[in-house]
Amino acid sequence: MPEQHTKGDTSTIVLEKENEHLTPQECDILGEIANISFGSASTVLSTILNRQVSITAPRIELVDLYDSRDVEVPHVVLNIHFTKGLDMENLLVLKQDVALSIADLMMMGTGEVEDGKELGELELSAVQEAMNQMMGFAATSMSEFFQDTVDMSPPTIKVVKLSEEMEKISEIDGNHTIVKVSFDLKIDNLVNSKLVQIVSVEHAKQMVNKLMQLSGGVEEKDETAEVVETEIVEEVEKEHLTQEEKDVLGEIANISIGSASTVLSTLLNQPVTISTPNVEAINVRHYDGVPVPFVILNVDFVEGLKNENVFVFTKDVALTMVDLMMMGTGEVDPEKELTELELSGIKEIMNQMMGHAATAMSEMFQEKMDMTPPNVKFVTLKEEMEYLGESMEVDELVQITFNLEIGDLLQSKMYQILPIYEAKEMVRRLLYPMVEEEIATEEIEEEKIVEPVVQPIEFKEVKQMEPVYMDTSILQNVEMNVKFVFGSTVKTIQDILSLQENEAVVLDEDIDEPIRIYVNDVLVAYGELVNVDGFFGVKVTKSL
């Protein structure tokens, strides 16, 4: 008979029968698998619900089937069967109130549900679809670190007592012990609950052994347990970026895109916050299971840094921003279609935002940064990722996720995606800016070794010249007519100085070019509109 004892202050029974026990290393590996697969799945759930979602801190427990706490209480249970890569099934368990909130958000509600409301077929269907897309993401992540295609059937959903479903899982091992993986599930300020994954001990060990075989660590477990664990964690995490690189990229994003929130706030006449960038490495197949189209903007750096960035918005974000820019209220129908007008509007917004970002990056990198006007399209992320993978011949990308808030109207996400090698180049240029200069210095010193041919120098007699003075006061009376041209719209110095904050300037056409500065009808320079201590002016950026 297995020895039993109560764990901590709970009534969870832990069985210590040797062949059922999970070692600390196995628990760590299972926790890492859960963290990566479900942590990445929170991204798609956040997009579907249009709310900030986090699925974190998995805890692994080996529990008895008849844990006396919740098994008799009805829960929403989703049965997921792996059909490729792994031969196993597991359960996902949600409390009914959590499922109701998710269903309400899926159906464009507020997520606030009445006490005592029952789950109907409509709500169950909505939760099933949300979990189906979420598990599609999880399968993609698992495929990456198992180095094998992992696929699963669509989940079945029902409201039952946990004991009924857990009995079916436990029959696989022929005993009453199961592995319980508990996640903290948070959805904005609406939900603070648990998402529980239940799997048999046999299937849990199967996942661990599959990873151990990849790292060659199945044999001699006792002697090399620590080494094997390190190798497996490295394999699972697939760290393409060091923590230092992630921190630096986060700081670059925070300063450049964060500063762009100022111009966005002015354009939309609303308080705007773009904050807390999260940096992670993803595979080009990361969004294969997401059929929802997004607004995609491609921005190419052409001076300073030479790389391609992709910025991603959801459709409702684009609709809200364009409506505000056109003096609307920002309250839009989420079912409204994106027309050429809206796409052109979001392109102009991003163009001005990226102009500010380029200025901030120029200061940070201490060299001029310039970029092309963005190209905009409305496609699925799967299509865009396939394009990036083929055009740049890369499999790994960096995704930077920003929290975007526009007044009380909108809380959403904005994504920046770029190839991993270009992200590393940005970090290198910021951390080690002197490397190229040192190399250039060494080359110059080597060139100096060549002995030049010395020619005799002949000195000519220098005669002292009398200084010539000119009265410049007469120039003060010369009139100069200064004009600033925005596209085909002409403004005088008085027009510029009289501008007030939040004042709209009506242009005859949409322009991406800098301001042209004319003196007496002669083009002398290019510039940009600036605000200094509340006063507007034109800053000269290029003299002719």
Q: How far is CA 219 from CA 215, 228, 234, 454, in A?
A: 11, 10, 19, 74
CB 183 within 8 A of CB 196: yes
Query: Where do the structural domains in the chain lie, given as residue ranges?
Result: 4-237, 243-431, 472-543
Measured CA to CA, the distance from residue 316 to residue 429 in angstroms comes to 36
What residues form DSSP beta bridges with 5? Answer: 14
For 278-327, what is each residue's pLDDT tens digit? 888 888 877 877 777 899 988 888 887 877 889 998 888 999 999 998 88
* Predicted pLDDT at 543: 80
* Mean pLDDT across 408-431: 87
pLDDT above 70: residue 466:
no
Q: Which residue has the tokens 């209480």?
A: 73
* pLDDT on residue 202: 85
Higher-pLDDT residue of 338, 11 = 338
pLDDT of residue 319: 92
Average model confidence (pLDDT) across the chain? 77
Return d(Cα 80, Cα 153) in angstroms, integer.
Answer: 7
The stretch 461-471 carries a mean pLDDT of: 54
Task: Provide the angle, in degrees to the nearest 10, between the axes of the packed helices 243-268 and 340-365.
Answer: 130
Higher pLDDT, 214 or 121: 121
| Distance separating alpha carbons of residues 249 and 234, to the nearest angstrom | 21
CATH number of 4-237: 3.40.1550.10
Find, among 526, 494, 493, 488, the residue nearest to 507 by Cα: 488
Structure tokens at 504: 């709209």
pLDDT of residue 100: 92
Q: Does domain 472-543 have CATH number 2.30.330?
A: yes
> What tens digit of pLDDT does each residue of 468-491 get?
554 555 555 567 788 888 877 888
Could you give the CA distance from residue 529 to residue 486 in angstroms, rounded to a whole number? 10
pLDDT in tens, 20-34: 568 888 888 888 888
| Fold matches, 4-237 and 472-543 | no
Q: What is the DSSP string of 408-437?
A: TTEEEEEEEEEEHHHHHHHHHHHH-TTHHH
Considering the entire predicted model, what is its pTM? 0.48
CA dihedral 192, 291, 288, 299 (to 10 degrees): -100
Residue type, 93: V
CA distance linking residue 325 with residue 311, whole number of Å: 19
Is the pLDDT at 164 greater than 80? The verdict is no
Helix (H) / strand (E) element for 109: namely none
In terms of DSSP bridges, do strands 308-313 and 396-406 run parallel, antiparallel, or are they unpaired? unpaired
* 8 Å CB contact between 337 and 370: no
Rounded to the nearest 10 degrees, how much is the dihedral formed by the CA atoms of 231, 236, 242, 247?
A: -140
Residue range 243-431 in CATH 3.30.1490.20: no
- How do the residues of the chain divide into helix, strand and coil, expressed in percent and rounded to 5? 40, 30, 30
Position 222 confidence tier, pLDDT thresholds 50, 70, 90: very low
* pLDDT above 70 coverage of the chain, percent: 76
